[in-house]
Amino acid sequence: MTGTAARSSDLTLEEREASPIDVRLVELGKTYGDVVAVERVDLEIHRGEFFTLLGPSGSGKTTTLRLIAGFEEPDRGRVELGGRDVTGVPPYDREVNTVFQDYALFPHMTVAQNIEYGLRVRKLDKDERGRRRDEALEMVQLAGYGSRKPGELSGGQRQRVALARAIVNHPRVLLLDEPLGALDLKLRERMQTELKRIQDAVGITFLYVTHDQDEALTMSDRIAVFNNGRIEQVGTPVDVYERPLTPFVSGFVGISNVLVRDGRRFTIRAEKVRLLREGEGRDRLVVEGGVIRHVAYAGPVTRYEVELEGGGELQAVRQNVETSSVEELAQRGQAVEVGWLPEHAVTVGGDTEREGAE
């Protein structure tokens, strides 16, 4: 299939940010009675990006997607697609297609008929429909499945059919509303890889909605973190994870610790906190004493919750590389010292430059 942009994986961040804007939201707002679902959202999504709206239930991410799709009308602001103001344009007249969590396939139609449905509505001739259908089936690795009914397919296969039906129309932007939410963990992980592969191949801008931080970090070029109808941070997965701007982002994306020392509030990722053995070097480390209050063995890692003598609690994660660290290191109630490098303490809720813990 001929994509509308270069392969996403072939673009540097600078090249992607220099590309045309496929989606622009300006002061976008939506209320339902007294509930503010989306409040003054400004956002630009570049052509060929895999862009994710991430946040908990009720944070405004799905409402924002529906406003872009045209399923809802904003109370204020505007939606632009490819530089065109589409705020008052109906869904069928926008250059977008949507993939839902429940697939929304026609059960009485074959896979081929489901994929061709939008092309029939657009009155494309039979040969063109067949060519695009076969390309889409091959793209999602379902060549030869055209004669089957959705009920004869697995959940992952049905999701691929829904994806093929969406990309066959060559939309400017593909909207994906928690499309993997109904799948089991193993299949969801495989489909994350598949979705990114397909997006790289077709070059279409993907706008993905999820509450799953791992999905967002794994697949996205950039992420917008939503909370209470607002965007708290936009950045690459590395930016959002390593340099969170607010306590909400640091707590929602990954396991984090927020501490206050000498009037400064900062966050440290759990995997960057060390439980120190007696005699272990302390050079350059910020060290505090504490007591282990909880130990959780999780296979590859062991998680510790430590109550600090200086106030507050933090979580530390230790990899079980050779032996189980729960056996060799520390138990609940044991006094320990923890340490972290100053550059791993990131100020939140104010100055966002990395500084050492005071």
Domain ranges of the chain: 8-242, 257-347
Q: What pLDDT shows up at residue 120?
A: 85
Q: By CB neighbour count within 10 A (0-12 exposed, 13-18 middle, 19+ buried), where does 209 fall?
A: buried
> At residue 38, does pLDDT exceed 70?
yes
Lookup: tokens for 103: 């697939």
What does the pLDDT average to over 208-234? 95
Q: Identify the three-state secondary structure at position 257.
A: strand
Contacts of 249 (CB under 8 A, 6+ apart): 225, 232, 233, 240, 348
The alpha carbon dihedral of 125, 2, 201, 221 has a sign of: negative
**294-331 pLDDT, tens per residue?**
998 888 888 999 999 999 999 998 888 766 544 555 67
What does the pLDDT average to over 22-38? 96
Q: Are 135 and 1 in contact (CB under 8 A)?
A: yes
Query: How far apart (Å, rounded) are the C-alpha atoms in residues 121 and 117?
Result: 6
Q: Do domains 8-242 and 257-347 have the same CATH topology?
A: no
DSSP line for 11-72: S-HHHHHHSPEEEEEEEEEEEETTEEEEEEEEEEEETT-EEEEE--TTSSHHHHHHHHHTSS
Name the pLDDT band for 18 (thresholds 50, 70, 90).
low
Q: What pLDDT shows up at residue 64?
A: 97
Name the pLDDT band for 12 (thresholds 50, 70, 90).
low
Element (H, E) at 54: strand 50-54
Give strand pairing partners of 225: 54, 233
Amino acid at 236: T
Query: How far apart (Å, rounded) are the C-alpha atoms in residues 294 and 255?
Result: 15
> At residue 259, does pLDDT exceed 60?
yes
The mean predicted confidence, pLDDT, of the chain is 86
Classify residue 243 by its DSSP letter: S
Strand order in the sheet with 346-347: 256-261, 264-269, 346-347
Which CATH entry fits the domain spanning 8-242: 3.30.450.40, 2.60.40.420, 3.40.50.300, 3.40.50.1970?
3.40.50.300
> At residue 67, does pLDDT exceed 60?
yes
Name the pLDDT band for 17 (thresholds 50, 70, 90).
low
Least confident of 35-39, 91-95, 225-229: 91-95
Q: What pLDDT shows up at residue 157?
A: 87
> At residue 345, does pLDDT exceed 90?
yes
What does the pLDDT average to over 39-43? 96
**Which CATH number describes the domain made up of 257-347?**
2.40.50.140
Q: What pLDDT shows up at residue 230?
A: 96
Query: How far apart (Å, rounded) are the C-alpha atoms in residues 253 and 265?
Result: 17
Lookup: tokens for 246: 């607010």
Residue identified by tokens 């060549």 is 143
Q: What pLDDT shows up at residue 287?
A: 94
Q: What pLDDT shows up at residue 16?
A: 54
> At residue 50, does pLDDT exceed 60?
yes
> At residue 8, does pLDDT exceed 60?
no
Q: Are 54 and 224 in contact (CB under 8 A)?
A: yes
Contacts of 270 (CB under 8 A, 6+ apart): 254, 255, 256, 257, 303, 314, 315, 316, 317
**131-190 pLDDT, tens per residue?**
999 988 988 888 889 999 999 998 888 888 988 888 888 899 999 998 887 778 787 888
